[in-house]
Amino acid sequence: MRSSRLRPLILPLLALLAACSPQGRSTAQPTQSLGQPAPGLEEPNRAPPPNFATMKMSFAPIVKRAAPAVVNVFSQRVVRTQVDPFWQFFGGGFGVPQSRVEGSLGSGVIVRADGLIVTNNHVIEGGQQLNVVLADRREFPAKVILADARADLAVLKIDVKGERLPVMPIADRDSVQVGDLVLAIGDPFGVGQTVTNGIVSALARTDVGANDYSFFIQTDAAINPGNSGGPLVDMDGNLIGLNTLIYSRTGSSAGIGFAIPAAMVRRVVETAVGGGHAVNRPWLGARLQTVDSDTAKSLGLDRAGGAMVTALYPGGPAAVAGLNEGDVIVSADGQPVADEGVLTYQVATHRPGETLTVGVRRGGAAKTYAVRLEAPPAIPARDERTLTGRQPLSGATVANLSPAVAEENGLDPMLSGVVVLKPGETFAAQAGFQPGDIVREVNGEPIRSTAALAEALRAARSWRLVIERGGRRISVTFGL
């Protein structure tokens, strides 16, 4: 669903910033879009140094204010593995599963004085024991309040017995610009809290592909494994992004790092503060396609860019607002829309019930629409169930597809049918089923509900299944 112009170059070399250390612990806005004219140099904090004496000025006051709110996050889990029976014969145990402890180390930011902390989801994902170490080296057990895998963000809570901890403010306005000075604070390679500085190298990087809302601030401030979840800080000491991944051929900093913008961080934190355990995001009710140069020519546009509406959900927000198929959305809330990813991010940072103003090109004319965003409908009913018995999908958890279920799982919200949410750890996983697979047919019978799927599987002794995966249909046959 996202443009992939940079993927062949970037994706093989991207590294999430949590990694394993030799000791077993891992060491791991909508912002202003590209192309918008920069403000004049007379703006406060954006003037070049006028003389050598000014260049000798220090970042120390900013670090003194920001660093106490940066923490280390340790995550541990026990993994059981089956040792090769050949080696077991010589070493004893004869196939008894062995246990080992895996860990990861990342960083985090205190965003509320009572111990609320935001970090990356990949730092804590799968962790059975979480601990947070403060800047003053005190250590606390932590629990997960909210985990948002789609945005790669998580909110943790530590019990500080009524103590008020130092807090880093989340930037409340989206004024980041290319060339702004920034600091990155975290714990690279587990060496201890480290501060690096650089500039904002680029904005609105949407071809990185690290999460479902791929829209990153790029920086040349050195960040390395262990910096995951640490803050990207502006010259006022505010959090403007959460450092998440790097582009590297070696696993170490190559001067290209990516941070999740503050607007997304703020949205997740506000949900956690409000008692929510999942972020309720709105949808546009439209299928989108990035306008490349060929599409632009066919539409009579003078340049590539924007997101074209290729389908509308009946009664959805975009349809109600008056958008048509073939419209090209070129701006959202006054910010340029370079591609589908930018628009998806802009929608995701709003709450249901809020209005998104979109600029549209239609047949050579420019139009503006106010789209009242709503939560995607949960119709048909989810009817989630785990399948059992002697059949190919035994152990899998499935659900009826609705726009709500599709949005939760990063699927095309226009799809319908029955989707595999989890293949489980039994036959379905061994057979190769994956999350997001849509079951289209069983023995030639169309499948439109989980109840129909369960019945079709139960009644057969052999099964020919048609599965849709990534827009492709796959036919596979199973027998007892």
Question: From residue 379, how far is each of 383, 400, 401, 424 by CA, in Å?
Answer: 11, 9, 8, 25
pLDDT for position 205: 82
CB neighbour burial string for 197-221, b if at least 16 within 10 angstroms, e if fewer: bbebbebbbbbbbbbbbbbbbbbbb
Q: Report all structural domains of the chain as residue ranges with CATH numbers, in order of start.
A: 1-36+60-276 (2.40.10.120), 286-372 (2.30.42.10), 385-479 (2.30.42.10)
pLDDT tens profile 90-119: 455 545 556 565 667 899 999 999 999 999
Give the single-character DSSP code of 170: B
CB 109, CB 228: distance < 8 Å? no
- Least confident stretch, 8-22, 163-177, 225-239: 8-22
C-alpha to C-alpha distance for 285 and 477, rounded to whole angstroms: 36
pLDDT tier at 6 (50, 70, 90 boundaries)?
very low
Predicted TM-score (pTM) of the model is 0.78
- Least confident stretch, 124-133, 161-170, 227-236: 124-133
Percentage above 90 pLDDT, the chain: 53
Report H helices in 299-396.
Answer: 317-321, 340-348
**Of 229 and 78, the one with more pLDDT:** 229
Catalytic residue list:
122, 152, 228
Map tokens 């530590």 to a residue.
Answer: 158
Mean pLDDT of the 75-91 span: 57
pLDDT tier at 85 (50, 70, 90 boundaries)?
low
| Contacts of 48 by beta carbon, 8 Å cutoff, 6+ apart | 41
pLDDT for position 253: 72
pLDDT tens profile 313-361: 999 999 999 999 999 999 999 889 998 989 998 999 999 999 999 999 9
Map tokens 């403000």 to a residue.
Answer: 39
- Is the per-residue pLDDT at 84 higher than 60? no
pLDDT for position 361: 92
Average pLDDT, the chain: 83
Phi and psi angles of residue 59, each rounded to the nearest 5 degrees, phi first: -85, 0
pLDDT tier at 5 (50, 70, 90 boundaries)?
very low
